[in-house]
Structure 1
Amino acid sequence: MSTDHYALGPPARALLADLEVSVPTVLQRARLPERLLADGTLELTPAEYHAFWRALAEELDDPVLPITIARKLSAEVFDPPLFAAFCSPSLLVAAERLARYKRLVGPMRMVISGPTIELVWPESEQPPDELGLVELLFWVALARIATRYDVRPVGLTAPVAVSGAVADQYTQYVGVPIACEPRWSLTFSAADAERPFLTANERMWDYFEPELRRRLADLDQGTSTAELVRTALLKLLPAGSGTAAAVAGELAISVRTLQRRLHEESTGFQTVLRDTRESLARHYLTTSTMTAAEIAYLLGYDDTTSFYRAFHAWTGRTPEVARQSAGE
């Protein structure tokens, strides 16, 4: 996941189903491929992601769409950021955790100042009003679900002008009127920010956090996609799962995104798979006494014959000759 793209995946499909909206119609409005949500998680540029939200708002024609979506929020749909938030002991801890890992799902930052949560988008990529308000109301809904208490913020600011009945509905849902200011922010009382979450589960958080840290480290270090694919294949090949779909699932991206990233690095999945298998085969032949059948299994081949053909195509020799040459 790159920091200049948004991740859109299964939770979005669940949301659209809950809203009873026609997916093809929304995608057509946004001028995005109709297969957008058909294959795992897709990375969208800010322009594409914002177009998706504008199209959704136009299709539903709901003047308080952010409130409607907030009321649909549920812990039943598994989404890593949502799950991490629900596992937290309090709203304050949930905000701090999501602020740390927010870069994994899009180019928007969270700034936590005590009980205040501020959302910061790149200056040239300000979100549609609906998206910005959804991101803010998410925290109101989260606090209420996790504490089973009618948590009401003490302040909400957004560069959005609402009036009349629409403004009244936001005030009624949030508890305070929206103050039209440049900042996207939400402030809770100190008591509500530290109110215990009944959904807290530190054991589950301890289980998922290492993976989030790994993904963040990959992002920071600029690890190439080809290298990430090789790492995934080392785990998947012995299980016979060395397919593009399996690797994409391991990396939490769609197959199309995987193929696009590899193409940008002037390579492809089959090339990386072939090179990984050849490297592993040479390693096993020169450092172990495993038979060709055992090596074929570890490389994810259905039978020894397939491995023999592949190895001969790589090296022009049989595995036995290669092993003998290495020994000599």
Structure 2
Amino acid sequence: MQDYYSTLTGWMIPISRAMQANSIDAAKALKACDISLDVMQDQESSIAAEKFAHLLEYCNKKLDRHDFSVLVAEQFHPGMFHALGYAMMSSNTLYDALERIAHYKRVVSNTCQLVNHERNEHLVFEMNIFTYESTNRPVLSQETVETFLATIIRFSRELVTLDFAPVKVCFAYPTPRYDVTFLKDYFNCEVEFDSSQTAIIFDLKQTKEKLLCGNPLITHSHEKMLDEFMARVDKNDLTHIIKNKIFELLPLGAPSQTEIAEFLGMSLRNLQRKLSDQGTSYKEILESTRKKLAMNYITQKHLSLSEIGYLVGFSSVGNFNRAFKRWTYQTPGDYRQGRKP
């Protein structure tokens, strides 16, 4: 299933520019990584994550500083993410922009989950990277992760200010053998390796400051295009089909994995294998679906907390309270109280 994981070929725009700026022969690099030259011409298609990683590694080895990741990030342009890039650039706050890339990340890649969560005075933008089932190896290479996080910071500087810096950048992989000073210089903050997470930690207050470039009309227009694109992708996406069935059945109680397998006309083992190939599980899908619904319902003041718990498939208020606290570090009551004007 290695070819299942892919990333948008829009990345080839900054990569090709970085190669040109550093005298790396693009034709030789693509041939060495078994990537067709046609990829450079088609920015709407995808490239296998494995080949993408090989290309970054190839280019990195051509440089003494091994800093190709940040050189690619420096070439960032919103157009490389198509409508998502422009929706992000017209967001009202950096917080909103990071929420959009987490929500629409499948437009760019299916190699990881992006999750934003508030922790004390910080916003944690976390990457949960999928692994190949056969080897348990992460789908994204070290160079790929560096490139993506560096690009997020480059984008943040476009939105906020050119000297913008996060609080901390965390990498779950060990410290590279080569000098990583370039990463500390680029991020302009503490960089941690061997971390328990792969994430960028932002100052929460700073991410919620109003941006001059915010334009709801432009954002809405691009989100409409993104929704249409994702609808086409989701039509044949197993995870999306399962989520829709869960939505339908939750008021009757959380459906079991066996019930979903029967609905899909496949064996339980086959369902588990297919979801594992996609880097997820039924438990994760059920949990994320419940959370998404609960976070929507909690803002609807006409619904009591017990009604919300029932609507998202919990048999008791106590079970709902425990789940909600796991998601937000707050009880539903405290969370709702905090949302009052």
Q: 2: distance between equivalents of 1:140 and 1:186?
A: 9
1:171 matched to 2:184: yes
Q: CA deviation at 1:98?
A: 1.0
Quote how far apart the aligned CAs of 1:116 are.
0.8
Which residue of 1 is the match for residue 199 of structure 2? 185
Q: Does 1:145 align with 2:148?
A: no
Give me the TM-score of the superposition, normalised by structure 1: 0.60
Matched position secondary structure for 1:72: coil
Q: Which residue of 2 aligns with 1:9?
A: 9
Aligned residues: 222
Amino acid at match of 1:50: A
Output the CA distance in 2 between the equivalents of 1:208 and 1:36. Answer: 24
Deviations 1:74-126 (A, max 9, x none): 34767333222111111110111111111122212101102110112212243
Is 2:90 the counterpart of 1:87?
A: yes
Three-state SS of the structure 1 residue aligned to 2:74 is helix
TM-score by length of 2: 0.58
1:28 corresponds in structure 2 to: 31
The answer to whether the 8 Å contact 1:7/1:105 transfers is yes
SS at match of 2:109: coil
Higher helix proportion, which one?
1
Aligned to 1:279: none
What amino acid does structure 2 have at the position aligned with 1:56? C
Give the match for residue 100 of structure 2: 97
Query: Alignment partner for residue 127 of structure 1, among 140, 143, 150?
Result: 140
2:200 partner SS: strand
Which residue identity lines up with residue 200 of structure 1 in the other structure?
Answer: G
- CA separation of 1:103/1:10 partners in 2, compared to 1, >3 Å: closer, same or farther? closer
Task: Name which one, 1 or 2, has greater alpha-carbon Rg.
Answer: 1
C-alpha displacement at 1:183, in angstroms? 1.8
Runs of 4 or more consecutive aligned structure 1 residues displaced over 6 Å after TM superposition: none
Question: 1:136-170: CA deviations, max 9, x gaps?
Answer: 12222112111125222112110344479833332
Query: Which residue number in structure 2 is paired with residue 276 of structure 1?
Result: none
Q: Give the Cα–Cα distance (whole angstroms) in 2 for the partners of residues 186 and 78 of structure 1.
A: 20
The root-mean-square deviation of aligned C-alpha atoms, in Å, is 2.8
SS of the aligned residue for 2:166 comes to coil
Aligned partner of 1:49 in structure 2 is 52
Deviation of 1:198 (Å): 3.1
Instruction: Work out whether residues 86 and 197 of structure 1, in 8 Å CA contact, stay in contact via their aligned partners in 2.
Output: no
Counterpart of 1:117 (choices 118, 122, 125) is 125
Q: Does the CA contact (< 8 Å) of 2:79 and 2:85 recur in 1?
A: no
What amino acid maps onto 2:67 in structure 1?
A: V
The residue identity in structure 2 corresponding to 1:214 is E
CA contact (8 A) 1:67 1:134 kept: yes
State the 1:27 CA deviation: 0.8
Unaligned runs of 5+ in 1: 224-328
Q: Select between 158-167 and 194-203 the one with higher mean Cα deviation.
A: 158-167
Instruction: Please tell me whether the aligned partners of residues 170 and 177 of structure 1 are also in contact (alpha carbons under 8 angstroms).
Output: no
- Distance change (3 Å), C-alpha of 1:152 and 1:126: same
CA 1:201–1:70: 2 relative to 1, 3 Å: same
2:219 corresponds to which of 183, 188, 205:
205
Structure 2 Cα separation of the partners of residues 92 and 119 of structure 1: 16
Q: Which amino acid aligns with 2:115?
A: V
Contact 2:115 2:125 (C-alpha < 8 Å) held by counterparts = yes
Q: Cα–Cα, structure 1 residues 189 and 220, in superposed 2: closer, same or farther, change >3 Å?
A: same
C-alpha spacing 1:5/1:169, structure 2 compared with 1 (3 Å):
closer
Taking the TM superposition and a 5 Å limit, the aligned residue runs for 1:36-75 are 36-60=39-63, 62-75=65-78
Q: Structure 2: which 5+ residue stretches go unaligned? A: 133-137, 238-341
Whole-angstrom CA distance in 2 between matches of 1:14 and 1:152: 21
